[in-house]
């Protein structure tokens, strides 16, 4: 540590003054350009010839207030679906990713099935999976067929599981082989090396993309409305049909964004932390 009496030299003081002036200038410029862009956008939209009609049919406050409770009730279903689907899809994805890394001839069918699964369900549109599951399975008229909501949720889990499996696999493959060599050299079995050494590092590394997929999942949970259950989107659709006004859709859209914000915030925070950790290491 240098002495506490340190005083910046004249040159350094001049630099500090200059940089401070530059910083103030940047802030002012940013504020000015933001204001200009905002005014232009406002004029363009509110000045458009059809703006009054659009405002009436998309931004009607009284309709918004009327339908908010129904949509919120529907949203509660979305939230429950989100929690269930996110946890199940993450677990399924991890399981599939690990199955794909198994070695040895005995596991060939397991590997092949897991690979087939990730290939086909990443290609298959979610909407089709939901239709097939929610309408096809009850069509079999088996005893104890679960409700359409559960089947729709299962469709989401199966589809997202395939994506998440690939993210997990990328994470597993990103762990350097020298880590496995170190684990095996200590006498750990292949399974123990995976569990204690590879997977913890893999999951940490792919946490940001995993969370990003979870954000995407939270929107797609709304697609189960196609199968019939009254979620936020279906509730809004009913509102639109009854009022002949699109405002309920806007309300549902805003609610979805609000629901996503915390998750997006967590994703950014985790990403930032991961980047910082990576830079901390040599």
Partner 1 sequence: MVLSCTDVRKTFGSHVVLDGLTLDVGEHEVVALIGASGSGKSTLLRCVNLLAEIDDGVIRLDGEDITDPRVDPDAVRQKIGLVFQSYNLFPHMSVLDNITLAPVRVHKRPANEARDQAMEWLNRVGLADKSGSYPDKLSGGQQQRVAIVRALVNSPRLLLLDEVTSALDPELVGEVLTMIRDLKGEGMTMVLATHEMGFARQVADRVAFLDKGRVLEQGPPEQVLGDPVEARTRQFLARIIEAGRL
Binding site for partner 1 (CB under 8 A): 178-179, 181-189, 192, 196-197, 200-201, 204, 280-282
Query: Please, what is the minimum distance in Å from the beta carbon of residue 165 to partner 1?
Result: 22
Nearer to partner 1, 2 or 178 (CB): 178
Q: Which is nearer to partner 1, 103 or 141 (CB)?
A: 103
Which residue number, 2 or 279, has a Cβ lying nearer to partner 1?
279
Least Å from the CB of residue 106 to partner 1: 16
Nearby residues of 35 by Cβ (< 8 Å), 6 or more positions away: none
Cα distance from N-terminal residue to C-terminal residue, the chain: 25
Neighbours of 227 (CB within 10 A): 21
Give the whole-angstrom CA distance, residue 134 versus residue 227.
Answer: 6
Alpha carbon of 224 to those of 71, 150, 229: distances in Å? 15, 10, 7
Q: Tell me the closest approach of the beta carbon of residue 86 to partner 1, in angstroms.
A: 23
Closer to partner 1 by CB, 39 or 186: give it.
186
Let me know: does 129 contact 121? Beta carbons within 8 Å.
yes
Closest CB to partner 1 among residues 181, 261: 181
Distance CA 198, CA 177 (A): 9
Tokens of 275: 């980047």
Q: Where are the beta strands (DSSP E) in the chain?
A: none
In the block, tokens 């399981």 appear at 95
């Amino acid at each position: 540590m240098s002495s506490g009496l340190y005083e910046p030299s004249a040159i350094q003081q001049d630099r500090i003054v200059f940089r401070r002036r530059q910083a103030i200038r940047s802030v002012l410029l940013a504020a000015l350009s933001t204001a200009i862009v905002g005014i232009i956008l406002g004029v363009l939209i509110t000045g458009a010839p059809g703006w009054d009609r659009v405002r009436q049919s998309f931004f009607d406050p009284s309709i918004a207030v009327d339908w908010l409770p129904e949509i919120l009730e529907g949203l509660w279903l979305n939230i429950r679906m989100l929690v269930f689907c996110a946890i199940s899809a993450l677990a399924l994805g991890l399981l599939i990713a690990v199955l794909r890394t198994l070695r040895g001839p005995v596991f060939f069918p397991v590997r092949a099935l897991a690979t087939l699964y990730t290939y086909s369900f990443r290609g298959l549109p979610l909407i089709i999976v939901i239709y097939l599951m929610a309408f096809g399975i009850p069509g079999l008229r088996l005893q104890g067929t679960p409700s359409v909501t559960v089947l729709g949720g299962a469709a989401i889990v199966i589809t997202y599981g395939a994506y998440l499996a690939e993210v997990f696999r990328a994470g597993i493959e990103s762990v350097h082989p020298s880590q496995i060599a170190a684990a095996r050299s200590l006498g750990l079995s292949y399974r123990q090396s995976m569990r204690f050494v590879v997977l913890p590092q893999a999951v940490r590394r792919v946490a940001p993309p995993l969370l990003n997929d979870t954000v995407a999942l939270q929107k797609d949970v709304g697609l189960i409305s196609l199968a019939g259950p009254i979620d936020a989107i279906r509730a809004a659709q009913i509102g639109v049909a009854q009022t002949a006004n699109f405002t309920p859709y806007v309300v549902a859209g805003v609610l979805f964004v609000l629901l996503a914000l915390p998750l997006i915030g967590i994703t950014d925070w985790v990403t930032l932390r991961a980047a910082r950790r990576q830079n901390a290491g040599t």
